[in-house]
Amino acid sequence: MNKTERVDYIQNKLEELYPETPVPLDHEDPYTLLIAVLLSAQCTDERVNKVTPALFKMADNPHEMVKHSVEEIEAIIKPCGLAPRKAKAIWTLSDILLKKHDGEVPASFEELEELPGVGHKTASVVMAQGFGFPAFPVDTHIHRLAQRWELTSGKNVDQTEKDLKRLFPEEKWNKLHLQIIFYGREYCQARKCHGIECEICTTCFPDRKRARDFKRS
């Protein structure tokens, strides 16, 4: 199976398995999505969804968030890990939103990535899931599967994002990045499939005998 055939097969298989792609992080608007994505760094979506109800009950918009101290925010988000850094970023970005953006989350990559705690991947998730803008957020999970499926040279997540955008049509990006995440969690886990067990891996590479090592970015 050549790369073009793999791309078609993977796209069709993921659509068959995941015709619906609900956003994994609970949120009500771009601001609460932004905060949830920020909290998800080195933390599971499940844990974030357990923490955010208390946080958003205290403050679900930048106007209310800046009324509370960094320490108050940190106490609530502690289960997510990296709490001191994340709490400071949440307070500071909320303050910036009020001062520079009239309290609204900007709908541009450049302005989002200027906010503390917001990298390109976080900005991509907000643009895709919050504003419906075509984006292909790539985290280590998608990076790992793209390597196993030989869709990328695998040097880093930035290169993987560029490669996936070239291979798949733009109108599929927002849905596809969630489909890949869902598939990875269910069938092609980091410490289980190793590129030689799940249906996509065995169908695309029936002659593969050795585990496909994951090169971290």
pTM over 0.75: yes
CATH topology of domain 30-131: Endonuclease III; domain 1 (1.10.340)
Specify the DSSP class assigned to residue 40. T
């199976």: which residue's tokens? 1
Determine whether 121 is an active site residue: yes
Question: Which pLDDT belongs to residue 214?
Answer: 64
Question: Which pLDDT belongs to residue 153?
Answer: 86
């291979």: which residue's tokens? 167
Question: Which pLDDT belongs to residue 8?
Answer: 98
Catalytic residue among 121, 158, 175, 209: 121
Determine whether 3 is an active site residue: no
- E strands, the chain, where? none
Architecture of the CATH domain 3-20+136-204: Orthogonal Bundle (1.10)
Q: Is the pLDDT of residue 146 over 70?
A: yes
User: pLDDT tens-digit profile of 68-124?
Assistant: 999 999 999 999 999 999 999 999 999 999 999 999 999 999 999 999 999 999 999
Ranges of each domain in the chain = 3-20+136-204, 30-131
Kindly state the tokens that stand for 98.
């009020």
Q: Residue 2 and residue 5: Cα distance in Å, rounded? A: 5
Catalytic residue among 99, 139, 158, 165: 139
Question: Which pLDDT belongs to residue 154?
Answer: 74
